[in-house]
Structure 1
Amino acid sequence: MTVQSIAGPRFSWRGPSNGWRQREGRGPTLALALFILVFSLIPVGRLIVAAFEGGFGAFWQVLDAPDVWRATRNTLVVAFGSGSLALLIGVVFALILSVTTLRARTALAFIMVMSLMIAPQISALAFKTLAGPASPLLKLVGLAPAPGTPNPMLGEFGIIVVMGLHHAPLVAITLASGLASIPRPLIEAARLDGASPWQVVNRIMLPLLRPFLLSAALLAFVAGTGNFGIPALLGLPVGYVTLPTLLFRKLASFGPATIGDAAAISVLIALIAGTGVIAASLLLARSASRLETDHRIEPFWELGRWRPAVEAGVWGVIALTVLLPLASLLATSLVPAYGVRLSPSSLTLAQYVEVLFRQDLTVRAFRNSMLLAGGAALSLAVITLVSAYVLDRAKPKVKAFAFALIELPYAVPGIVLAIACILLFIKPLPLIGVSIYATPWIILFAYHARFFAIALKPVMAAMATLDDAVQEAAVCDGARLGQRLRHIVLPLVFPAVFAGMLMVFLLAFNELTVSALLWSAGTETLGVALLSLEDSGLGAEAAAVAVTATLLVLVLMLAMQMLARRLPPNALPWQALAGPDRERRG
């Protein structure tokens, strides 16, 4: 909507782009264009050039290899299998949280999303320590398998189960947006006509949710295609290789000499994942525009006397799939070595003292992850403030196109972005002749590219709620852009900026997929340290690192929850899943 000032059309805040440029100058627009060019277009473009440098024949020769075909087959199997499991669990939980009178739905949604926010390698390690004959938790209750029994979580089955559980909240969050868009009068009319709650769900809601169901399935498939942490911990020990872990093994074994082959495989991964991302985005855009309404549904399925049983079942699933594996991780971290039975006599905090204060690798990894994640969060706060300001005033098609480019490095698998960064920085930078390859700066650059879209979303949502009249008055008083951003816009959107910073820090602190290929001696991150400890057979130390990282995730999520009332509606993923505006007291 255009807001006219008393000075006339020259100060129309959301007027034509030429008038805006006359008032603001081209600086913010050029800054946004530079961000998109540097963080999105140049890395992806360099990857494509490297993949086809020798022509299509050379590109196909790399892909037409037995190990690539085998890894492709494994990737598709685990992506389809885990995606199906994630879809089943995510649909059930999304419906239960949205349509039933279940109590404590915010707590349930919070725990579900926490399982998604926890790094994939930590989830894999938790399930690995839970199963098998060496499990301290199973030994405690006398249910451990006989010594020598293979760990059932290692291999294809374990990867599918853990990955499916890890991505189920992603499906639930996607469906929550569709459920929130179903018109409430439609549900109320069906109920007045005598339709039972099951009939409303089966005959009205599910048909309307088909586009969201398909897009959720595609997103789960894409997430499974690019996942590195879970196949690395559960697949590599038994020789089960997917495309991301194949890339890791090639570069770890042969180094930069195989960078051309890695580029070709990266393009293959990007093509598989990109097809799903584009299809899911188109489905969500079309379905959202068709169903969007201001009359949102409220829980209508009265559980009555069945509510205790339903709640016990829901919490039981959460306990088995989220809390029990984390309890196993905690138990493993409290014994002298992995495989020792947990008891009062074996209980020890020595592993925490070792990884937090004594061991150079883990102490350095904590410090590096803290600095890199914190640096990315702080600088992205400034970048997103300027970017959201520009995009909020852009035409809808321009805004959509620009955000799609910004989201590109996050949409492609992290391992693909890492290869792109290696290709981009393996030689000294033009003009200045300085190389950031094998330095912390390459990891920091990758974090900026990967998490730009994550930091931008809440700021854009907050920017859209601002009253333009306040800024219009400042323009009339002669305030410059920098003054308005610092003294007017930033104080109003700061909670969203801070939430974006916390989200970036949370994701970057435990990140492994990107840093697994970009780290060098002295620049190890927490995810790399955990993988190294587990690979060296130091399971108890790895569990202590994982528990510490999980506690940090919990603290940051609680901090964001404290900001919830000052953020736009559904700015936090668990808030969108639980639907706090629809929640009722039991």
Structure 2
Amino acid sequence: MAYLVIAAALRRIPGNLEEAARISGPGTARVLGTVTLPLLRPGLLAAFVLTLVANLSDFGIPALIGLPERCTTLTTLVYRYLASSTTSNPLPAVSAIGLVLLVLAVLTVLAQRKLPTGTQLGNEGTSMKLELGAARIPVLVLLWLWVGLICLVPLLALATQALLPAPGVPLTIENLALDNIIRASTSPGAVSGIANSIMLAGGAAACCTVLGLGIALLLTRGTHRSNGPLDVAATLPQALPGLVVAVGWLLIAPMLGIFNTSWVILGAYVMAFMALVVQAVRAPLASVSSTLEEAARTAGATPLRALLDVTARLAVPAAVTGGVVVLLTAVRELTISILLVAPGSQTLGVAIFNLQQSGDYGGASALALLVALVGILGLSATAALANRRVDK
């Protein structure tokens, strides 16, 4: 998440500013410290806020790693309240914890808006190439070691556990088998979780694509005074912890008559992820000149038809890309699902969590490996299509 935000901010830094600094005499390190990093401050701050809010609301990691070691976080505490059979009415305590997380998230976002954000820049020129000289090889090795340790080693460990018949079995070619993967992917719980996740994630992606496209069109082309509140309402859920979203839907689901159904999970998904499509569509639309719509209106089209036939069509690819990201994100989601799960609505993330909690580490690893591979392939394909569209 931090990489994507910071990389996007780096692309917006005009290379001519860095080149002008280099012409004045300073070296690469000084240009980075006095020009690039100050201009990158908004992106760094946004990455910090997003990762802070995301980790405040994360459930899967502290549940799988922290609970066995009696390390409790706010999200796992909420799960304990809801899963406990000794607490007759856990919602007041759960609501209080959700309110604490809500306040923390809102304060973080407000603090980000109050801090100076630096100069607003656009895509002007090509960014300066970073010349490392003799330090290139050591830096490259250190970066690959860091990425390997953080990203690749856990995936290799996951694959190893999925291919071995049981924990502790020596890693040899003779012991490798696909039994865990076949058993985990064909078990009734996994099949139900896969079907529910595909249905809910697909429904959320479709809803978010349509609603996000409409909201982005209103925000970029509309001039009504309600655009400000609409902008806040559409983007605030992105800054809210998933736990807050789930607790909110727990409270309103009985009023809507959808408590203990799949509809409540779908509603929470749409609320949590719609901002992804809005943000994906908003930036491309902001760069599209209104002269195309004016030309359509000159040819006799009504304002609505010009908006739909010209601007909306140009924004559809970005909306579809955002919808794919929503699909891949919702398929593996756990924090919202674990709190809103009902009989018959178990999702893929919940299925993996239940396998892990029951001690079936091979099955959990196999199912998690399949999710990871599908997610990597899906995001890679989405990124490749987005880059191809940008190049065109």
TM-score after normalising by structure 1: 0.62
What SS does structure 2 have at the residue aligned with 1:287? coil
Which of 335, 341, 347 is the equivalent residue of 2:164?
335
State the shift of 1:253 in Å.
0.8
Matches of 2:90 and 2:296, distance apart in 1:
57
Q: How does 1:320-469 map to 2 (within 5 A)?
A: 320-357=149-186, 359-395=187-223, 399-427=227-255, 429=256, 435-469=257-291
Deviations 1:177-226 (A, max 9, x none): 55445443432232122211112223343345455544543443322222
Which of 111, 120, 124 is the equivalent residue of 1:279?
111
Cα contact 1:461–1:568 (8 A) shared by 2: no
Q: Which residue of 2 aligns with 1:268?
A: 100
Matches of 1:377 and 1:331, distance apart in 2:
33
The structure number with the bigger radius of gyration is 1
What SS does structure 1 have at the residue aligned with 2:90? helix
Q: How does 1:466-505 map to 2 (within 5 A)?
A: 466-475=288-297, 479=301, 487-505=309-327
Pair 214,424 (structure 1): closer, same or farther in 2 beyond 3 Å:
same
Q: Which residue of 2 aligns with 1:315?
A: 144
Which of 33, 58, 61 is the equivalent residue of 1:202?
33
Cα contact 2:332–2:348 (8 A) shared by 1: yes
| Structure 2 residue identity aligned to 1:307 | R
Matches of 1:536 and 1:391, distance apart in 2:
48
Matches of 2:281 and 2:358, distance apart in 1:
42
| Structure 2 residue identity aligned to 1:442 | V
State the shift of 1:360 in Å.
0.8
Which of 343, 368, 371 is the equivalent residue of 1:521?
343
Pair 497,183 (structure 1): closer, same or farther in 2 beyond 3 Å:
closer
Percent sequence identity is 35
Matches of 1:389 and 1:211, distance apart in 2:
25
Higher mean displacement: 255-264 or 410-419? 255-264
Cα contact 2:201–2:327 (8 A) shared by 1: yes
Pair 568,274 (structure 1): closer, same or farther in 2 beyond 3 Å:
farther
What SS does structure 2 have at the residue aligned with 1:390? helix
What SS does structure 2 have at the residue aligned with 1:345? helix
State the shift of 1:563 in Å.
1.7
| Structure 1 residue identity aligned to 2:196 | N
Pair 215,490 (structure 1): closer, same or farther in 2 beyond 3 Å:
closer
Which of 53, 61, 66 is the equivalent residue of 1:222?
53
| Structure 1 residue identity aligned to 2:168 | G
Matches of 2:83 and 2:261, distance apart in 1:
17
Cα contact 1:333–1:540 (8 A) shared by 2: yes
Matches of 1:228 and 1:367, distance apart in 2:
22
Q: Is 1:554 the counterpart of 2:376 in the alignment? A: yes
Cα contact 2:213–2:316 (8 A) shared by 1: no
Cα contact 1:215–1:279 (8 A) shared by 2: no
Cα contact 2:159–2:365 (8 A) shared by 1: yes
Q: Which residue of 2 aligns with 1:563?
A: 385
Matches of 1:251 and 1:370, distance apart in 2:
25
Matches of 2:121 and 2:30, distance apart in 1:
22
Matches of 1:513 and 1:297, distance apart in 2:
40
Matches of 1:209 and 1:265, distance apart in 2:
34
Matches of 1:503 and 1:561, distance apart in 2:
10
Matches of 1:488 and 1:459, distance apart in 2:
14
State the shift of 1:362 in Å.
0.7
What SS does structure 1 have at the residue aligned with 2:174? coil
Q: Which residue of 2 aligns with 1:125?
A: none
| Structure 1 residue identity aligned to 2:53 | V
Pair 260,350 (structure 1): closer, same or farther in 2 beyond 3 Å:
same
State the shift of 1:242 in Å.
0.7
Which of 322, 346, 352 is the equivalent residue of 1:530?
352
Which of 276, 293, 302 is the equivalent residue of 2:131?
302
Cα contact 2:213–2:277 (8 A) shared by 1: no
Matches of 1:564 and 1:554, distance apart in 2:
15
State the shift of 1:277 in Å.
2.0
Cα contact 2:50–2:239 (8 A) shared by 1: no
State the shift of 1:491 in Å.
3.5
State the shift of 1:498 in Å.
1.3
| Structure 2 residue identity aligned to 1:390 | L
Q: Which structure 2 residue ranges, 5 or more long, are not aligned?
A: none
Q: Is 1:191 the counterpart of 2:40 in the alignment? A: no
State the shift of 1:454 in Å.
0.5
Tell me the number of residue pairs that the alignment of Structure 1 and Structure 2 aligns.
Answer: 391
Deviations 1:115-149 (A, max 9, x none): xxxxxxxxxxxxxxxxxxxxxxxxxxxxxxxxxxx
Q: Is 1:542 the counterpart of 2:374 in the alignment? A: no
CA RMSD of aligned residues (A): 2.6
Matches of 2:125 and 2:298, distance apart in 1:
39
Matches of 2:97 and 2:272, distance apart in 1:
19
State the shift of 1:319 in Å.
1.5
Q: Which structure 1 residue ranges, 5 or more long, are not aligned?
A: 1-168, 430-434, 570-580, 582-586
| Structure 2 residue identity aligned to 1:292 | L
Deviations 1:378-404 (A, max 9, x none): 122221222222111234986454222
Deviations 1:492-511 (A, max 9, x none): 22221210111100110000
Deviations 1:42-84 (A, max 9, x none): xxxxxxxxxxxxxxxxxxxxxxxxxxxxxxxxxxxxxxxxxxx
State the shift of 1:338 in Å.
2.5
TM-score after normalising by structure 2: 0.90
| Structure 2 residue identity aligned to 1:250 | Y
| Structure 1 residue identity aligned to 2:199 | L
Matches of 1:385 and 1:206, distance apart in 2:
33
